Structure 1
Amino acid sequence: MHAATTSLAPANSMRGEWTQFAAFLKRPTLPARAPMPRLASLGAVWRLFLLDLAVMGVLLGIAGLVMSTGITVPETALAGIDIGPAVVFAVVVFAPLVEEIAFRGWLSGRPGHVLALIVLLGAGLAAIMLSGSGTIYAALVGGAGLLAALAILFALRRRAAMGWFARFFPVLFWLSTLAFASVHLFNFPAEDMAMALPLVLPQFATGTMLGYLRVHYGLWASVLLHLLHNGAFISLVLLAGSAG
């Protein structure tokens, strides 16, 4: 194991950040290590959020044009659901945290992050299998898995990214982004999944930004952008519902 390639120079402007993001997409490269959370990094999250809004605006505009021709698009799982505080919390807070850990927590390539995720996934599956025997058993297994993952993160906190991971990072980055977009197909009815493929383009586009932030600024940055993205989305849904 050894350190990965060095990161890009810090960007101090909107144009600079977007240019570095474009360069990253052209040739995804794993930085040596994301910096510790710092106030200046919030600027990067804000600049990528504005880019995210711009891209979403273009894609929504295209979708509107398609629908104006009479083509019917599948409805999402949120259609017809009474959006209360619990749903808002799940969409804006819980989903970003879980999805970032699952799809991008390991993108650092550091052994602690990879092993901790494997432990969490194993404990989660075991907890689901034991849920029929009683919630207490599922909770115990889940709690043990969480403690084990935290212990792994602490024990391996100084380990650099694995060499093979850095070499295959471009492939792993795009696979992660594709998986993130694909899982959102389950927001649509099974019979409409084929038609819904173009509808997960927003998640694919946002996934590239989340991956960039994760490896260059840290997991907290991708979680924050994901939170802002979902918050903007649920706000549009609520505004559309109130207007109707």
Structure 2
Amino acid sequence: MTTVSPSFRAALTDFAAFLRRPQLLAPAGFRAAGNARTWLFLTLLSIAVLLGLILPFIHLWQGLFDLPDPQAFDRVSKVWLVPIVVLIAPLLEELLFRGWQNGTRSALWLLACALAVFGALAIAIVPGRELIALGAIIAAAVAGLAGWIVLRRNRTPLAWFGRAFPFIFYAMAALFALVHLANYDRITLAAVPLVLPQFWAGLLLGYVRQRIGLLGSIAAHALSNLITIGLALLVSSI
């Protein structure tokens, strides 16, 4: 009879408890006793659920509704595909969706400045507004750095953020999933289940970010992407 490691069972129990009631945790990093092993358990859990349950379901769902495969990778050179998927995307996505989820003033200030930069980039596509957009980007970058220098020493989460964290946690997991609908050329209501992998990733990575830290969620994201893109490339070459 197969036995389950007590450490693996504890990781599952803690993760399930967190999902029932998400709350701000004090990340202990990889150096804390048992955390490296917990990180490995959670990362393997993420990949196992993805490959064993979610992707087979999506394959069935696509067949039932005649839905396309994601088209985003078709627009990327194969030379850049692996670096983008394994390195760049995990870093940028974790910073944007979970980097600020410690609720500190400095983290939320950096998020606000990052959103200002994205707003300026949207303005930049309007003819004649390029200089305005450039000025806004520079101003947001300077404000972000200055604000971080002033606020960085205060590591106490804001009280309202802690109270709202359960909603923030699930809202960000859902948003993380929904933005990946942009990977498809044809978006319909039936296509929403196609981003279940990203929703599952948002839940697990959000917990890793709280339990271990931002570096842990970036590393788990990168390893998961590496294995899934590696298997996809292997299957496509057969």
Aligned with residue 102 of structure 2, among 105, 108, 126: 108
Aligned with residue 193 of structure 2, among 198, 203, 215: 198
Structure 1 unpaired stretches of 5+: 1-11
Identity %, equivalent residues: 35
Q: Who is 1:183 aligned against? A: 179
CA 1:14 to 1:36, structure 2 compared with 1: closer, same or farther past 3 Å?
Answer: closer
Report matched runs for 1:1-244 at 5 Å.
Answer: 13-31=7-25, 33-36=26-29, 38=31, 41-57=35-51, 58-66=53-61, 71-78=65-72, 80-81=74-75, 83-130=77-124, 142=137, 145-159=140-154, 160-190=156-186, 192-243=187-238
CA 1:60 to 1:142, structure 2 compared with 1: closer, same or farther past 3 Å?
Answer: same
TM-score for both structures, normalised by structure 1 = 0.81
RMSD of aligned residue pairs (Cα, Å) = 2.7
Residues 140-149 or 223-232, more deviating: 140-149
Cα offset, 1:237, TM superposition: 1.9
Cα offset, 1:13, TM superposition: 1.7
CA 1:134 to 1:227, structure 2 compared with 1: closer, same or farther past 3 Å?
Answer: farther
Deviations 1:39-78, CA, capped at 9 Å, x for gaps: 75433321111101111121122334456x6653321024
Q: How many residue pairs are counted as aligned between the two chains?
A: 229
CA 1:206 to 1:225, structure 2 compared with 1: closer, same or farther past 3 Å?
Answer: same
Q: Tell whether the 8 Å contact from 1:104 to 1:214 is kept in structure 2 after alignment.
A: yes
CA 1:125 to 1:71, structure 2 compared with 1: closer, same or farther past 3 Å?
Answer: closer
Say which SS state the counterpart of residue 196 (structure 1) adopts. Answer: helix
Residues 13-22 or 141-150, more deviating: 141-150
Q: Tell me which amino acid in the other structure corresponds to 1:53.
A: I
TM-score for both structures, normalised by structure 2 = 0.83
Q: Tell whether the 8 Å contact from 1:77 to 1:187 is kept in structure 2 after alignment.
A: yes
Cα offset, 1:180, TM superposition: 0.4
Cα offset, 1:184, TM superposition: 0.8
Q: 1: distance between equivalents of 2:135 and 2:29?
A: 32
